[in-house]
Structure 1
Amino acid sequence: MKFLKYFQGKVKEPVPEAERLAAYRRHGDVALLGALYEPYMELVFGVCFQYLRDEDESKDAVMQIFEKIIIDLKQHEVSNFKSWLHSVARNHCLMKLRATRVTVEAASVDEREQELQTDTEPEPDLFALDGRLDALDECLHKLTSAQRVSIELFYMQNKCYRAIADETGFDVGKVKSYIQNGKRNLKICIESHGSH
């Protein structure tokens, strides 16, 4: 058992995630973030596959999410990396599915209009709705990451403040603030689209 004494004090304690995240924010070293992200890639792939149901798309999403968090983590402090990453992955997939759905719906509207081939004017409501969806999508991407995530969880997934706080690691008061400010910024952005 003498050999155990040799190892005592030699083994370094693993650096906590919070410290590694803080170091990434300070230095912006992508390799540091890559080492932090790598153990979670399988989890991220699993979340993406659950939503996208396509292996190649899910693999692409794993890389797209990494590219996204390179930027997001420089701007926001995250206390619980795993749950925040799970939320980012899910929101990424939901936005991807939503974009696909809007494209498919727009294509089916075009097909229906071609089938009708009448002299009547196209329904203005459909085009107005399509324009509003485009504006909403564009404006959502202009929000800060924290505002966008909070709004998507609150409005698109009907989560309460506490559930959003638990999932993202944000403080409950911050979640309320992100939603309130995000709504105001969305309204301003969407109204500016209407005035073009």
Structure 2
Amino acid sequence: MDEKELLVRYRTTGDIEILGRLYAPYMSLLYGVCFKYLEDRDTSQDAVMQIFEQLVDKLRVHEVENFKSWLYVFARNYCLMELRKEKRQQHVDIEHNLLESEQKLNDAIEEKWSERDFENMHDCLITLSKEQAACIRLFYLEQQCYKDIADATGYDLSKVKSYIQNGKRNLKICMESRKNGK
């Protein structure tokens, strides 16, 4: 039986053994495609098996003329989707780590503040640019979010983030120099 006949038979019967006969000759080709995109042996092997599992349903619904080229495109798209998922997860992990680090830093700062520290902070706020000082006050003292600060000040959202980041760094440097100097 040729591929077209096997495809028709699988589509009508759903017999996994037929799908296996169709798929087996292309497993090494698919592994190569997956390895090209995913760049990891184990992940590529898993992808070859996941693709087979997805074909169980896909080939019952889609009419395929040229199985080899359709399978290649399907495998490539599968790998690209996996890379997107991985990228999104990395982004979520980075965001989570940044928030966690900022919270730890804030907790550590809150624990050791004296009246003198507040005076130093007030004196150091004056040394910041007006944009940095305004954004720092709104973010930390009034606990507004970036978007609200951007709306209130008229600054671009990316500028607000930059003013807060740079202002926080400059404020810390100023306060440490005052603490160490006195």
Please give the range of the TM-score, normalised by the shorter of the 2 chains: 0.5 to 0.7
Displacement after TM superposition at 1:116 (Å): 3.1
Matches for 1:7-156 after TM superposition, within 5 Å: 15-117=1-103, 119=140, 120=143
Aligned-residue offset at 1:113: 2.1
Preserved contact between residue 25 and residue 73 of structure 1 (Cα < 8 Å): yes
Output one character per residue of 1:62-85: Cα deviation in whole Å (capped at 9) or x when no partner. Answer: 111000001100011000101110
Residues 122 and 88 of structure 1: CA distance in aligned 2, closer, same or farther (over 3 Å)? farther
Rounded Cα–Cα distance in structure 2 between residues aligned with 1:47 and 1:122:
45
Structure 1 unaligned spans of 5+: 1-14, 125-196
- Residues 6-34 of structure 1 show CA distances to partners (whole Å, capped at 9, x for unaligned) of xxxxxxxxx22111100111111110110
**Identical-pair percentage:** 46
Distance of aligned partners of 1:121 and 1:48 in 2 relative to their CA distance in 1, 3 Å threshold: farther
Q: Is the 8 A contact 1:113 1:122 kept in 2?
A: no
Output the TM-score relative to the length of structure 2.
0.57
Residues 36-92 of structure 1, C-alpha deviations (whole Å, 9 max, x = no match): 100000011000000111101111111110000011000110001011101111111
Gaps of 5+ in 2: 107-139, 148-182
Partner Cα distance (2:13, 2:63) in 1: 14
Give the SS at the match of 1:41: helix
- Measured after TM superposition, the shift of residue 123 of structure 1 is 5.2
Aligned to 2:169: none
Partner AA of 1:82 in structure 2: K
Higher RCO (CA 8 Å, separation ≥ 6 residues): 1
Alignment-mate amino acid for residue 99 of structure 1: K
Cα RMSD after superposing both structures: 1.7
How far off its partner does 1:110 sit? Answer: 1.6
SS at match of 1:18: helix
Q: Is the helix fraction higher in 1 or 2? A: 2
CA distance 1:122–1:79, shift in 2 (3 Å): farther
* Shift >6 Å, 4+ stretches: none
Cα 1:61/1:81, change in 2 over 3 Å: same
* Residue 121 of structure 1, CA deviation: 5.3
